[in-house]
């Protein structure tokens, strides 16, 4: 019995796993605890209400309860009340650890539905009983986890949408099935148009991830997240607390690259970044594809090309950026302009820092431009333009690995099952046979490395040169592998031009040396 005159300072603790939970809700817990407190005439010092906090979360990590357990506020109370042990914790380890800590602090735990708990925590024999009691909620927690895992595994195998914001291009919609609401996804016409515009810019125009990103942001194309906010009746973007205005979410190069290479655009279902394999051994399709197979291959080739050899960025100050190099240090040449007595002089020179710059490696830019044009048109002008196209490889390694993982997961399901009957065995064998057949099919498919292939166009290099502006001509030189190297202007060889012969061999069919070198003396001759 408690001593007469002892002040009972009580901390009430209420917990709920989900805000939508209605059984034994926070309101009922609160009513029950306060009613008992009034009956016992105790002093309630506070109420720690933890909403949406699982019973397996340690008491010291609960947002509302944790501060009361700190040294600063621990002296304000000497009893902790909960309605039942489940509200205290579902973990037997956490329960017993907290019991010993309360004994150390000189505190008591009161569980309204278990009046004997307070006395049992004070004796070794009683604590043995408490541990046995705490195993019940712990076992129930394990059963809940198992049911959730089974439910998630089942949902992964269906064509339903598991939740969250779908990949850009798709929107969720609900239907009633067996009296319950089920969510699926479908293509959105507006986002589909944007996707095909992005594909056109990448595969046809030859734009980069950066260029597509700038285009999206310039035109204020809404992201998937902002569109989801609108569907939920909220304004798009994030609130700027400084201005009080909503700012649209911006696209980034990373999100653009990830989107355009995401197999979810083929309507496939994914889990943890991997395509889910269906019972037939093939990718599980849950929606119509945004691109057909040819369009997808073309898009992936363009994306892969950008990732392997990012397009050289145009340096507007250097009209031959990517064409002119220093023959001494092998760095890219730079373009400089000097004004002297109302005349402008242009030079290509070594791009090294002043102290490390290759001495004498400077050439008159106007003269060099003239030499490059004349040499290029003389050597290649009559030939048809060769366009280097990146050909994606045929690699089924990823899908094969996914099928193998699915086989192992299926076998593990059987090992975990407790009530396995003939019907389960028949379904298991059917699914396993389909997966094995798909695995063997993938193993037989050819493997081809990704690489560049040359395609001849109808247009000649001279025609392309005459039709293009300065930047188009620069890109034409780069695509042909044309290289102008600045050498020491104090010698008889101030510059050198290199043209890769493998490109010419592709055009003419002749076997030649790997590179043709053109020097000033060659032109004089």
- Look at residue 284 and tell me whether its pLDDT is greater than 70: yes
- The predicted structure's pLDDT at residue 452: 64
Most confident of 21-35, 275-289, 344-358, 481-495: 481-495
Better-scored residue on pLDDT, 505 or 445: 445
**Distance in angstroms (rounded) separating the CA atoms of residues 103 and 433:** 60
Rounded-to-integer distance, Cα 7 and Cα 350, Å: 87
60-107: pLDDT as tens digits: 999 999 999 999 899 999 999 999 888 888 888 888 899 999 999 999
Q: Which of 30-34, 104-108, 161-165, 259-263 has the lowest mean pLDDT?
A: 161-165
Top pLDDT among 357 and 326 is at 326
- The pLDDT value given to residue 76: 94
Mean pLDDT of 151-166: 72
Gap between the Cα atoms of 518 and 496, Å rounded: 6
Listed range (87-96, 245-254, 503-512) with the worst mean pLDDT = 503-512
142 pLDDT higher than 70: no
Taking alpha carbons only, the member of 448, 443, 463, 363 closest to residue 401 is: 443
Q: Is the pLDDT of residue 389 over 90?
A: no
Task: Please say if the pLDDT value at position 21 is more than 80.
Answer: no
The predicted model gives 280-308 an average pLDDT of 83
With both helix axes pointing from N to C terminus, report the angle between 397-416 and 422-444 in degrees, rounded to the nearest 10. 160
Q: In angstroms, how far is CA 508 from the centroid of its own chain?
A: 45
pLDDT of amino acid 111: 92
Length reported for the chain: 525
What average pLDDT does this structure show over 277-288? 82
Using CA atoms, how far apart are residues 456 and 224, in angstroms rounded to an integer?
Answer: 40
Distance between CA atoms of 497 and 371, rounded to whole angstroms? 9
Average pLDDT over residues 154-181: 83
pLDDT at residue 386, as a whole number: 82
pLDDT at 149 over 60: no
CA distance 473 to 385: 12
When pLDDT is averaged across residues 135-143 and rounded to a whole number, the result is 60
Say if residue 508's pLDDT is above 50.
no
Q: How is residue 204 written in tokens?
A: 């046809």
| 131 has a pLDDT exceeding 60 | yes
Contact (CB, 8 A) for 323 and 484:
yes
Could you tell me which of 297, 285, 348 has the C-alpha nearest to residue 319?
348
Of 170-179, 186-195, 504-513, where does mean pLDDT reach its minimum? 504-513
Question: Fold match between 9-145 and 158-267?
Answer: no
Is 234 or 143 the better-scoring residue by pLDDT? 234
- What pLDDT is stored for residue 146 in this prediction? 53
Least confident interval from 147-161, 365-379, 509-523 = 147-161
User: Is the confidence at residue 23, as pLDDT, over 70?
Assistant: no
Q: Which of 69-83, 290-304, 398-412 has the lowest mean pLDDT?
A: 398-412
In tens, the pLDDT along 306-315 reads: 765 444 443 4
Residue 203: pLDDT band by 50, 70, 90 thresholds?
Answer: confident
Q: Residue 496: what are its φ and ψ, rounded to 5°?
A: -150, 140
Tokens of 80: 């902790």
Give tens-digit pLDDT for 223-244. Answer: 999 999 999 898 998 888 788 8
How would you list the strands of the sheet with 334-340, edge to edge?
334-340, 343-349, 362-364
- pLDDT at position 172 is 93
Report whether pLDDT(394) > 80.
no
Question: Is the pLDDT reported for residue 196 higher than 90?
Answer: yes
- Residue 505 predicted with pLDDT over 80: no
Q: Sketch the domain layout of the chain as residue ranges.
A: 9-145, 158-267, 324-390+451-524
CATH of 9-145, one of 1.10.1740.10, 3.30.460.10, 3.40.50.1390, 3.60.15.10: 3.40.50.1390
Average the pLDDT over 461-490 and give the result. Answer: 89
- Over residues 338-387, the pLDDT tens digits come to 776 678 788 898 887 666 778 878 899 999 999 999 999 998 888 888 87
Calculate the dihedral angle through the C-alpha atoms of 395, 399, 404, 406, rounding to the nearest 10 degrees: 180
Three-state SS string over 258-298 comes to HHHCCHHHHCECEECCEECECCCCCECECCCCCCCHHHHHH
pLDDT of residue 511: 46
pLDDT confidence of residue 392: 67
CATH architecture of 158-267: Alpha-Beta Complex (3.90)
Q: What is the pLDDT of residue 243?
A: 86
What are the φ/ψ torsions at residue 509 (nearest 5 degrees)?
80, 5
> Per-residue pLDDT tens for 99-111?
999 999 999 999 9
Mean pLDDT of the chain: 82
Taking residues 382-409, report their average pLDDT: 78
Residue in 70, 122, 134 with CA at minimum distance from that of residue 96: 134
């Amino acid at each position: 019995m408690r001593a007469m005159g002892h002040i009972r300072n009580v901390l009430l603790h209420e917990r709920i796993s989900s805000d939508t939970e209605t059984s034994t809700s926070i309101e009922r817990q609160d009513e029950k605890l306060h009613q008992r407190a009034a009956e016992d005439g105790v002093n309630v010092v506070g109420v720690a209400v933890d909403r949406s906090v699982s019973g397996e979360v340690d008491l010291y990590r609960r947002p509302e309860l944790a501060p009361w357990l700190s040294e600063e506020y621990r002296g304000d109370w000497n009893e902790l009340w909960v309605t039942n042990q489940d509200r205290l914790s579902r973990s037997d380890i956490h329960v017993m650890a907290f019991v010993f800590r309360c004994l150390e602090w000189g505190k008591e735990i009161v569980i309204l539905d278990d009046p004997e708990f307070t006395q049992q925590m004070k004796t070794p024999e009683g604590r043995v009983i408490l541990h046995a009691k705490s195993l019940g909620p712990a076992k129930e927690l394990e059963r809940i986890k198992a049911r959730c895992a089974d439910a998630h595994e089942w949902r992964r195998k269906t064509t339903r949408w598991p939740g969250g914001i779908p990949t850009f291009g798709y929107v969720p919609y609900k239907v009633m099935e067996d009296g319950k609401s089920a969510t699926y996804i479908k293509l959105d016409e507006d986002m589909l148009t944007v996707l095909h515009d992005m594909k056109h810019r990448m595969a046809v125009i030859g734009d980069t991830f950066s260029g597509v990103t700038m285009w999206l942001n310039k035109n204020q194309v809404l992201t998937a997240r902002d569109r989801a906010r609108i569907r939920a009746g909220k304004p798009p973007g994030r609130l700027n607390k400084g201005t009080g205005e909503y700012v649209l979410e911006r696209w980034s190069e990373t999100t653009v690259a990830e989107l355009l290479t995401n197999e979810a655009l083929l309507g496939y279902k994914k889990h943890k970044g991997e395509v889910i394999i269906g019972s037939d051994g093939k990718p599980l399709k849950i929606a119509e594809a945004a691109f057909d197979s040819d369009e997808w291959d073309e898009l992936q080739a363009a994306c892969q090309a950008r990732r392997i050899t990012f397009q050289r960025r145009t340096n507007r100050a250097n009209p031959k950026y990517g064409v002119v190099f220093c023959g001494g240090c092998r760095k890219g040449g730079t373009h400089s302009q000097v004004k002297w007595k109302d005349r402008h002089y242009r030079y290509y020179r070594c791009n090294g820092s002043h102290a490390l710059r290759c001495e004498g490696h400077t050439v008159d830019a106007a003269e060099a431009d003239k030499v490059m044009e004349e040499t290029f048109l003389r050597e290649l002008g009559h030939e048809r333009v060769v366009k280097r196209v990146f050909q994606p490889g045929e690699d089924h390694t990823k899908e094969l690995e996914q099928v193998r993982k699915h086989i192992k997961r299926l076998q593990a399901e059987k090992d975990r099952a407790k009530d396995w009957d003939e019907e389960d065995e028949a379904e298991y064998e059917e699914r396993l046979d389909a997966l094995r057949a798909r695995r063997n099919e993938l193993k037989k498919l050819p493997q081809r490395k990704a690489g560049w292939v040359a395609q001849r166009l109808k247009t000649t290099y001279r025609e392309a040169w005459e039709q293009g502006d300065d930047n188009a001509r620069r890109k034409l030189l780069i695509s042909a592998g044309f290289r102008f190297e600045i050498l020491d202007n104090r010698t008889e060889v101030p510059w050198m031009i290199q043209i890769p012969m493998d490109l010419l061999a592709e055009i003419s069919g002749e076997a030649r040396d790997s590179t043709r070198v053109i020097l000033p003396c060659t032109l004089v001759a």
